[in-house]
Amino acid sequence: MFKYILKRVGLSILILVAVSLIIYFLVRLMPLDFVASNAGMNSEPETLDKIREQLGLQDNSFFGIIKGYFKWIGNLFEFENGYITLGRLFGNEKPVSQVIVQGLPTSFVVAFVATIFEFLIAIPLGITAATHQYSVRDYVITVLVMVGISLPSFFFGNVFKAVFAELLGWFPTSGATDASQSTTGIIGILSNFKYYVLPIFTITILSLGGRMRMTRTNMLEVLNSDYIRTARAKGLKESKVIYKHAFRNTLIPLVTTLAGLIPSLFSGAIITEKIFGLDGIGTTALTLTNTGNIPFIMGYNMFLAVLSILGILLSDIMYAIVDPRVKLE
């Protein structure tokens, strides 16, 4: 296991290098001069050249591009107060990592709680639909889930907002803070949790369908296996056959979703955050990307790349835990 992890870490470093090259060259190919637009149209040419020099975007020759890449890597791994900066924003020179950390608590809490509800609801529904295939229960669950998959997040978000916030007045319409509360961070989020109920509800409904359908499909495949028929022939209780034998093997394909789970917890839900006025990393990323804040775009995408690779590694390790037949070498 340890040797396998070392191999994957080495491979991950190579992948990150390749990702960094792709991000850098895509930024170099951007048609608009976002340096000028962020610095201001009335900025002096010397000021613009200085900013481009700091970002490694000034020289467009081959060796200039290579030099600029290593300049960006150096800015990426710059440290401040013991923390890596991931570059600095235009204008205020604020570290990108600090901007990401400020928006993460809101996005993480919403995504984490929604993911818990997603697993608690979708997996039992998938098992129920599989064990009662072609029954009324199966059809009802499938139809409701397909409705959730088909309708977009902005539709659900606005419907929940109109009904539960504006019509019934049970929850706030937008925002994530209470004027009477002075606490921030996770404590502030928990004290103002009423602002997060509708966004969590929206994300949960939208994510149920895929997880439920995957559970149902995998469960049906396992239930038709020979060893399940053998277990039933031996007289085992149906609940034991389903939850001890069938469900354990159903978990194996579900483990693959862990690869995308970690990035989703930290990347934010852009549309949902905008609808409910949450100041999360999704909203921040959208705003800074629209303004062409190159340091943030490059640093944030590298952050997501690291999370994606970490998710894939944990997914592979979970394979060995769920299925003892899988050997990581």
Q: How far apart are CA 123 and CA 211, in angstroms?
A: 7
Mean pLDDT of 61-78: 82
Domain-wise residue ranges, the chain: 2-84, 98-322
CATH fold label, 98-322: MetI-like fold (1.10.3720)
Q: How far apart are CA 257 and CA 280, in angstroms?
A: 23
Q: What is the mean pLDDT of the chain?
A: 79
Could you give the C-alpha distances from 84 to 74, 97, 119, 282, in angstroms and in order? 11, 7, 34, 21
- Taking the model in full, what pTM does it have? 0.77
pLDDT digits (tens, 9 = 90+) for 285-298: 888 887 778 888 88
- Amino acid identity for residue 249 in this structure: N
Cβ-based neighbours of 55, under 8 Å, separated by 6 or more? 35, 68, 71, 72, 75, 294, 295
**What pLDDT score was predicted for residue 274?**
83
Q: How far out from the chain centre does Cα 106 lie?
A: 13
β-bridge mates for residue 83, sequence order: 80
* pLDDT of residue 181 exceeding 60: no
Mean pLDDT of 242-270: 76
Could you give the C-alpha distances from 252 to 72, 84, 179, 223, 267, in angstroms and in order? 40, 36, 47, 14, 25
- Torsion angle, alpha carbons of 112, 118, 121, 124, to 10: -110
Per residue in 116-133, is it b (16+ CB within 10 Å) or e — as a string? ebbbebbbebbbbbbbee
Q: How far apart are CA 321 and CA 121, in angstroms?
A: 23
Q: Nearest CA to 153 among 87, 226, 205?
A: 205
pLDDT digits (tens, 9 = 90+) for 8-44: 788 888 988 898 889 888 887 777 666 666 665 556 6
DSSP symbol at 280: S
Tokens of 156: 């659900």
Cβ-based neighbours of 228, under 8 Å, separated by 6 or more? 222, 241, 245, 246
Q: Is 325 left (phi over 0), alpha (psi -120 to 50) or beta?
A: alpha
**What pLDDT score was predicted for residue 233?**
85
**What pLDDT score was predicted for residue 50?**
72
Q: Do residues 295 and 87 touch, judged by C-beta distance below 8 A?
A: yes
Mean pLDDT of 247-258: 74
